[in-house]
Amino acid sequence: SSRRPSKFRRSMTGIPNLQETLKEKQARFREARENRKMKIGPSHKYIFEVLGEKLGLDLVTVEELILDCPSNVVERLRESPKGGK
């Protein structure tokens, strides 16, 4: 008896392209994270301290969590101390 190939079987030809895409995404993530880190100032540190106190986390942990957020979150934080938005 012969087995029918599964309709869900995937080709292995796309794996190298997938790996390269993953490497590119990781590089873009690291670059965006570094850009966000450079934009953090004293007013942000204060916000991180307040958040840390409320959440029971240390300053470094809060900063790392914020840095791992998408850029638009950091942009909103950056606007808040200046304009009270």
Please report, for the chain, the start and end positions of each structural domain, with discontinuous segments joined by +.
Answer: 16-79
Angle (CA) 18-21-24 rounded to 5° is 155
pLDDT at 45: 92
How far, in whole angstroms, is CA 71 from its chain's centroid? Answer: 8
pLDDT tens for each residue of 24-83: 888 988 998 898 899 899 999 999 999 999 999 999 999 999 888 876 666 676 676 554
**Nearest-angstrom CA–CA distance, 13 and 18:** 10
Q: Which of 43, 51, 83, 82 is nearest to 69 (CA)?
A: 51
pLDDT at 34: 92
pLDDT at 36: 86
Q: Enumerate residues 6+ apart whose C-beta is below 8 A from 13.
A: none
